[in-house]
Amino acid sequence: MGQKRKDALDRLFELSPQVELHLEKIRTQPNARDWNHWRGEVGGWLRCMERELGKIGKRTRAEWKSRIDG
């Protein structure tokens, strides 16, 4: 496994729990003061994750793409 691929996968695994946590906050606290902040962070992290997809193999990319789109 190449270093770029490993780094990209590490980044995906690093960001995934943060995205899920913020999405849960958005879902459960729709009137929270920080709602727009959480939404912005999720959008930024998802864009970052999309960029990382170009650095990993096709099969792994398809798996992660479906997770990100979900």
Give CA separation, 21 vs 13, 41, 56, in Å: 13, 11, 24
Higher pLDDT: 65 or 3? It is 65
- How far does Cα 29 stand from its chain's mean position? 20
Give the span between the Cα atoms of 6 and 56, in whole angstroms: 8
Give CA separation, 8 vs 27, 29, 53, in Å: 28, 31, 7
- Position 3 scores a pLDDT of 78
pTM: 0.84
Q: How confident is the model at residue 27 (pLDDT cuts 50, 70, 90)?
A: very high
**Sequence letter at residue 23:** L
